[in-house]
Structure 1
Amino acid sequence: MALASRVVGEKAAANGLLWRLPSNLLQSFNFSTESPATTTTTTTTTTTEASKNTKRRKNKNLFEVAQFLPNWGLGYHMAKTHWTNVSYEITKINLYKDGRHGKAWGLAYKDGIPAPATKKISGVHKRCWKYISNPIKAEVEPKPEAEAA
């Protein structure tokens, strides 16, 4: 008896589902009088526009750039994308557990000349960092007093 009522209940549920179609399913049917060729061209243009928007390159913060470098980028040069002739040589990184956040310290280089001391890098979580593969390092000439002595 229980089996028969279960079968009847399943049939009723199946019949009820046929009437409960989502409204967006009806919108997907094309009732227009246009030719099929014109409808396919309009759908392809909208899909290409949507794909252009989804292929936008996402900028990375300092830690997302450093994770692919050996030893998390220690000893490598990085800079913000809008900086010119300025970079940091990473000397220390303190990562949080997720690997995308933390603190970083480094030597600042301006026009190839390093700063005298290591300092904490600000803006490491902003999404505008890039790796500098061949940094310009200026030769620092020794002072003439040191040569005379």
Structure 2
Amino acid sequence: MATALANRAAQTQSIGLWRLSLNFFRELSTATSTQNPPAAGAAAASSSASKKPKRKKKKNLFEVAQFLPNWGLGYHMAKTHWTDVSYQITKINLYKDGRHGKAWGLVHKEGVPAADAPKKISGVHKRCWRYIPHLSKPGDTAPTLMKPTENAPKPDAQLA
């Protein structure tokens, strides 16, 4: 019976060592497989983010005009691929959402009006519109009204 107990103790020790070695290799293999892919994925994601800048979504005519005073009436706008051609907005009909509608304007070529009457602008819903700040603004063309001051010289008819 003593020999049976000794054999049994030897078997449990060898099985215990076998399990420890298997657990060690299992932990080692799972630790390397779980650490490398996320690190590689994170590095790939950060490198792709640094390579490609986020593209700005271009705006249609109404999305550009909403930030201008009075929805851009009197201001110049053009498509991004146009050179020396712009429209001075004269009328806008908006739909309820504020991003769609119809627009009319005077055509300008190289800053000079090319037509006398306003024309319906085509392609207002396409995402390629921009505001042209260097052309005349509505306040520049309107005559300024001067208020009479008290210190201004009075005409002779009023003095008598």
Task: Determine if the TM-score, normalized by the shorter chain, exceeds 0.5.
Answer: yes
* Structure 2, gaps ≥5 residues long: 1-29, 137-160
Give 1:146's aligned residue. Answer: none
Give the counterpart letter for 2:131 in structure 1: Y
SS of corresponding position for 1:130: strand
Query: 2: distance between equivalents of 1:93 and 1:48?
Result: 45
Give 1:122's aligned residue. Answer: 122
Give the counterpart letter for 1:126 in structure 2: K
Query: 2: distance between equivalents of 1:32 and 1:58?
Result: 43
Matches within 5 A, 1:108-119: 108-114=107-113, 115-119=115-119
1:135 aligns with 2:135: yes
Give the counterpart letter for 2:64 in structure 1: V
Superposition deviation, residue 67 in structure 1: 0.4
Query: 1: distance between equivalents of 2:110 and 2:44?
Result: 47
Q: Specify the structure having the higher radius of gyration (Cα).
A: 2
Give 2:75's aligned residue. Answer: 76
Q: How well do the aligned residues superpose, as a CA RMSD in angstroms?
A: 2.6
Query: 1: distance between equivalents of 2:92 and 2:51?
Result: 36
* Structure 1, gaps ≥5 residues long: 1-30, 137-149
Change (3 A) 1:35 1:55: same
Query: 2: distance between equivalents of 1:86 and 1:66?
Result: 17
Change (3 A) 1:57 1:108: same
Give 1:13's aligned residue. Answer: none
With the length of structure 2 as denominator, give the TM-score of the two structures: 0.58
Tell me the number of residue pairs that the alignment of Structure 1 and Structure 2 aligns.
Answer: 106
Runs of 4+ in structure 1 over 2 Å off = 31-42, 47-55
Superposition deviation, residue 45 in structure 1: 2.6
SS of corresponding position for 1:65: helix
Superposition deviation, residue 125 in structure 1: 0.1
Deviations 1:9-54 (A, max 9, x none): xxxxxxxxxxxxxxxxxxxxxx473694785254133145257768
Query: 1: distance between equivalents of 2:51 and 2:127?
Result: 20
Superposition deviation, residue 80 in structure 1: 0.2
Query: 2: distance between equivalents of 1:43 and 1:32?
Result: 17
Superposition deviation, residue 124 in structure 1: 0.1
Change (3 A) 1:125 1:53: farther
Query: 2: distance between equivalents of 1:52 and 1:59?
Result: 21
Give the counterpart letter for 1:98 in structure 2: D
Q: After the TM superposition, which of the residue ranges 45-54 and 124-133 deviates more from structure 2?
A: 45-54
Give 1:106's aligned residue. Answer: 105
Sequence identity (%): 67
